[in-house]
Structure formats: structure tokens, C-alpha cells
Amino acid sequence: MTFTPARQSDRLYHELLAPEEARSVRASVRLIAEREVAPHAAVIAGGDERTDGFPRRVFDALASVGVYRIPFPSEVGGDGLTYPATATAAAIEELAYYSSSVAAVFDVHCILAGNALRQGTDEQQQRWLRKVAEGSVVGAFATTEPDASSDLSPQAVQTEAVRTEAGWVLNGHKRWISNSPVAGFVVVLARTGERLSMFIVDMALPGVEVGLADRKMGNRGQLTADIRFTNVRLSDDDILGGAEGHGLRHALSTLTYGRIGIAAAGVGMAQAAFDLTVAHLSTRHVFGRPVAANQHWQFLLAERATEIENARTLYTKAALRLDAGNPSPEPEAAMAKYYATKLSVDMARDAVQAFGGLGFARQLGSDGSSSPVEAIYRDSKIGEIYEGTNEIQKWVIARQIFGRGIVG
């Protein structure tokens, strides 16, 4: 079932920051999401990773209308926008409004894998980034390991590439790698001696093995799995950017962009839960009047509307600073990620409460009806965890307040 509540943001949010180009991308992605994502959103959200698999039909439909071209320059087949990060963030919000999974697949494909490749050599970009922009290959990005994620220091990362006379040999084990069961390539963080480097690894190479898809609480259309690398043979041409030792910088700058995307996804989910809640509270009658007639709900929704306003403004500011050439737009990127993802969890919990029993239902036995807020409740939680947990975001913000000397 597709839910199309009135878009409250059209009345409540006055877009004064985003340039016309980004507004136009938002408008077109909204139409695409309504047509290509919304009809499949409930099935994706309620699916099982191992039996339902990757939402290929939606991925291909988004490719066919050029959605993966938005973040990239024209030299690699992208749209060549002046404000690519701002437009990309708006696009993610619009996708997440219907499906957190689809927004996450886009985020990993374009913002993580794609923007990591943007730090590659011209040859690497021509070889892989064109295909990312076309959507003819799915991208993945791997920093996390069973014992390393928040801490990506060379001491924590165990995946290792060793230089031999015949090139590099990669061994290691990555965990939670989104898109990996269907990916054509993965950008991998590995130790090279005392430092870290990123390698672009073709998933078809001998020695690359993807495990079973993880079964998760939410975001079930975002497939994750372990990847094991056993004596995978690579060359200098596979080192991201062509020189070893820059892996941590590449990974962290990619994840900074990622924060903005995850913040935008949080706003998309919060806005969807908000719109559904407003519609439900206005039409559901209890004690002879709409539930919305109770000041409790009026005040709660007033608070959430204010927070959505703040969250969208924060991620837009962070993206505009990125587009202006600041590779580390802090504290806004960390603030946006922490604030927007917490908001989406809070708003989703409020939505479940506002819908009463229906909020808790995946499907009613009597008529098959369901409420989509149950899926938002499950999906929203991951935003507080991945691409740098919210504790790590607060650490980043605290560094801006007190400095590294005190915070570390």
C-alpha cells in the first residue's frame, strides 16, 4: 500500500538556503520517488534480506532516469552541477521519505563508493566512476571490521596489503559492508606498513568472498555482509589516488560527506513520520473529537516541526560548505548527522504512539491494512549508528569546542 499524506514541509519549511539548482533536483527526485520507490517501499521495508534480496528493480529504475548522475561532474558522465552535495542531500531526503533502504543504497553507491573514487586518479575515475553514475555497476565501501569501526587507526585495522615483486597481496575481513552481495567493486581500507591505504577491488577477483546477507531490524533492502579477502592480487593502479599512505584521509573525508547524506535521510524519515502523524491525528476521532484537538499532540508536533526545520537547515548548510570547497564542513556535518538521526528516531517513536495499536502493526488480519510508521520506527535507528555513531559525532563537535588538546 502506498501512503501519500499531505507534504507538510511545503507549508512549513521556507527554503531560503538551497540554490535553485538543488531545489529543482529535489522537485524532480520527489516525482521519481513517488513513481519508482513508493509503490515498492512497504515490500522492501518488510522483506527479508536473504530471501527478498537487493531491490534491483528500484535500483535500475533510478539508474534509468539518471539519479546516480546527480553527485558527479560531467567528465565522468555526471550532471556537472554547481552544487552537487546540496543537490545530492536533497535527493537522499526525498528517497528516504519513502524508503530508508533505497536512500541507504544510493548513499553507499554514490556518496561512499562514488565519492571515494572522486579522490582517485583520472584513470580510476574513468574506469569505475562512469559506471557508478550510469548505475551499470553497484559500488561498496569497506572500512569496518569485526574489531574496528569507530576506531580506524592503523593499530585497529587488521586488513593488510603487502607489497611483493608481483604487486600487492590483500588479506583481511570486513564486516557490515552494504551492497556487497551485489557489488561490482569495493573501495577497501587496509594497512600498508605503518599507515593506511585504500584499494579499489574488483569483486570478481579470485580470493574475494562475500558472506551471507545479515538479517537486520530495519533497512532490509540495504544488504550487508562480511567480505573476506584471501591473497587477493592487486597492482599499484588499484591504490586509490595512486599513492599509498593516504587511506585514512580518503576514508574520513568520504565519511564526512556521508554524514550529510545520513542526516538528509534522517530528515526524510522524520518528515514522513511527521506527515503521517499529522494526517492521522487530524482524522482519528477519540472522545468525539480529533486526537489533534488535544494540546499534548499540538505541542509535540510543534516541537518536531521546529526540529525538522533545524535539521534540514543544518544539513543544507553543511552541504553548501562542502560545495564551496571546504572538505571538512564541521561542526555542521557532525551536528546535522547527530541531530537529524536522533530526530528521526524520536519522531518515529511519536508516530507509533500517535497511531496507537495501528502504529505497532505490520499488517491487520481483518483487512490487510498496515501503517508505514512501524517500518520507519525500525529503519530510523540505524541512522544513529552507522557512518560514525552519534557519540563519535559529539566527539567531533566537542573537538571544535574545546580543541584536540583537551578532547583528543
**What's the min distance (Å) between Cβ of 345 and ligand FAD?**
14
Between 83 and 257, whose beta carbon lies closer to ligand FAD? 257
Q: How many CA atoms lie within 13 A of 365 on its CB side?
A: 0
**What's the min distance (Å) between Cβ of 72 and ligand FAD?**
19
Distance CA 87, CA 66 (A): 13
Place of cell 545479515: 214
**What's the min distance (Å) between Cβ of 290 and ligand FAD?**
37
When asked if residue 298 is in the footprint of ligand FAD (CB under 6 A), the reply is no
**What's the min distance (Å) between Cβ of 380 and ligand FAD?**
12
**What's the min distance (Å) between Cβ of 201 and ligand FAD?**
13
Q: Is 230 helix (H, G, I), strand (E, B) or coil?
A: strand
Q: What is the largest CA-CA distance in the chain?
A: 81
The window from 27-35, 144-152, 327-335, 350-358 that contacts ligand FAD (CB under 6 A) reads: 144-152
Query: Which of 294, 385, 399, 400 touches ligand FAD (CB under 6 A)?
Result: 385
Query: Which of 382, 393, 396, 397 touches ligand FAD (CB under 6 A)?
Result: 382
When asked if residue 155 is in the footprint of ligand FAD (CB under 6 A), the reply is no
Query: Which of 129, 177, 264, 278 touches ligand FAD (CB under 6 A)?
Result: 177
**Ranges within 214-233 binding ligand FAD (CB under 6 A):** 216, 219, 222, 224
Query: Which of 33, 37, 95, 108 touches ligand FAD (CB under 6 A)?
Result: 108
The CB density around residue 31, as the number of other CB atoms within 10 Å, is: 11
- The three cell numbers of residue 356 are 496507537
Q: Is residue 391 flagged as an active site residue?
A: no
Distance CA 362, CA 370 (A): 6
Query: Which of 142, 152, 187, 336 touches ligand FAD (CB under 6 A)?
Result: 142
> In 48-151, which ranges are continuous DSSP H helix?
49-52, 56-64, 84-98, 100-106, 115-117, 122-124, 130-134
When asked if residue 100 is in the footprint of ligand FAD (CB under 6 A), the reply is no
Handedness of CA 351, 352, 353, 358 (dihedral sign): positive
Distance CA 395, CA 404 (A): 10
Give, in degrees to the nearest 5, the angle at Cα 232 between 113 and 255. Answer: 20
Which is nearest to 336 in space by CA: 85, 66, 124? 85
Which is nearest to 234 in space by CA: 190, 266, 265? 190
Q: Where are the beta strands (DSSP E) in 262-365?
A: 285-286, 289-290
Between 162 and 407, whose beta carbon lies closer to ligand FAD? 407
CA distances from 46 to 100, 106, 209, 221, 247 (A): 12, 19, 27, 9, 37
Distance CA 4, CA 327 (A): 37
Choosing from 34, 36, 387, 391, the catalytic residue is: 387
Rg, Å, the chain Cα set: 21
Give, in degrees to the nearest 5, the angle at Cα 226 between 373 and 376. Answer: 5
When asked if residue 393 is in the footprint of ligand FAD (CB under 6 A), the reply is no
DSSP-assigned letters across all residues of 173-195: EEEEEETGGG-SEEEEEEEETTE
Query: Which of 391, 402, 403, 407 touches ligand FAD (CB under 6 A)?
Result: 391
**What's the min distance (Å) between Cβ of 177 and ligand FAD?**
5
Total residues at interface with ligand FAD (CB under 6 A): 22
The window from 49-57, 229-237, 258-266, 389-397 that contacts ligand FAD (CB under 6 A) reads: 389-397
Query: Which of 99, 149, 256, 313 touches ligand FAD (CB under 6 A)?
Result: 149
Between 119 and 222, whose beta carbon lies closer to ligand FAD? 222
**What's the min distance (Å) between Cβ of 259 and ligand FAD?**
11
Active site residues: 387
Sites of contact with ligand FAD (CB under 6 A): 108, 141-144, 149-150, 176-178, 216, 219, 222, 224, 382, 385-387, 389, 391-392, 395
